Homo-oligomer: A and B are copies of this chain.
Amino acid sequence: MNKSAILTLSCADKPGLVSRISGFIHNYGGNIISLNEFVDSGPGIFYLRIQWTLDQFKLTDDELLAAFQQQMMEINASWEINFSDKRLKLALFVSKYDHCLRDILYRHSMGEFEADIPLIISNHSDMKKIADRYSIDFYYFPINKDNKKAQEEAEVRLLQQHQIHTIILARYMQILSPEFVALYPNRIINIHHSFLPAFIGGNPYRQAFERGVKIIGATSHFVTSELDEGPIIVQETVKISHRNGIDDLIQKGRDLERMVLSKAVKLQAERRVLVSGNKTVVFE
């Protein structure tokens, strides 16, 4: 696979955007291999994901970024360019449940994600042995009321040092402070074990059991300052029956959670998720 670039972009819609950007790419020798466009006609917003080859490209990466900076200012767009030889860096946060962590690490080892995972952070030491097996650095940051601020600051230094792009909360059972969340806007992905907005908050499987629903779900979403209210990326559901007790729901839910979170990780790694207000545009 030759080197390629991916541009993701959103801006106010107006005529000529595709022509302008595809023309720019063509002029410098790029060949578009994938293009997704969506216009949200209500608010009139244009979303684009475009991937092109760089092997014949006449600009260096830095020249490309500089040239795009100019183009993008003219159309007042939010944008990001990623290069295939500088894979996205992800940090995994985990507590004591291991199923999501294991699933992500296994898929990563099988080459399912266009991303690197340089480190795992946990408020417990239990997962160190799994991290070791995959030769990924493991950092143990126990959190309590008194040290939370200091520990989060230490975590942030570590994340910045490793140039982490996105944080994956793989069943991380600590609420991140608003200050922490603000540093990674739409760059922290959580898994909630219900089909949001049903069963917000704690013990969703118990809530589901008590309500007597016939389906349970899982939701991956970006973390915002409001709990379980961020933009939804992926949701899946599975049927349950009256025979299923809470333990069965937890067991079935484990399958859903790992599938839904891993799918979000894959989408994010491939830059397929654009955020607009409290919603996502997912270019599958």
CB distance A280 to B242 under 8 Å? Answer: yes
CB distance B22 to A282 under 8 Å? Answer: no
Residue ranges of A at the interface with B (Cβ–Cβ < 8 Å): 13-20, 22-23, 25-27, 29-42, 56, 99, 102, 106, 110, 112, 195-199, 211-215, 217, 231-237, 241-243, 245, 251, 254-255, 259, 278-282, 284
CB distance A19 to B29 under 8 Å? Answer: no
Q: Give chain B residues whose Cβ lies under 8 Å from the Cβ of A217.
A: 195, 215, 237
What are 21 A-B interface contacts by the 8 Å CB criterion? A14-B31, A18-B22, A18-B35, A19-B23, A19-B25, A19-B26, A34-B37, A34-B38, A34-B39, A42-B245, A99-B106, A110-B254, A195-B198, A196-B198, A196-B211, A197-B199, A212-B232, A214-B282, A215-B236, A242-B281, A255-B259
What is the bound-complex CA distance between A279 and B243, given in angstroms?
Answer: 12
CB distance B197 to A211 under 8 Å? Answer: yes
Q: How far is the CB of A154 from chain B (nearest CB, A)?
A: 32
The residue of chain B having its C-beta at the shortest distance from the C-beta of A27 within the complex is: B19
CB distance B26 to A15 under 8 Å? Answer: yes
Q: How far is the CB of A3 from chain B (nearest CB, A)?
A: 15
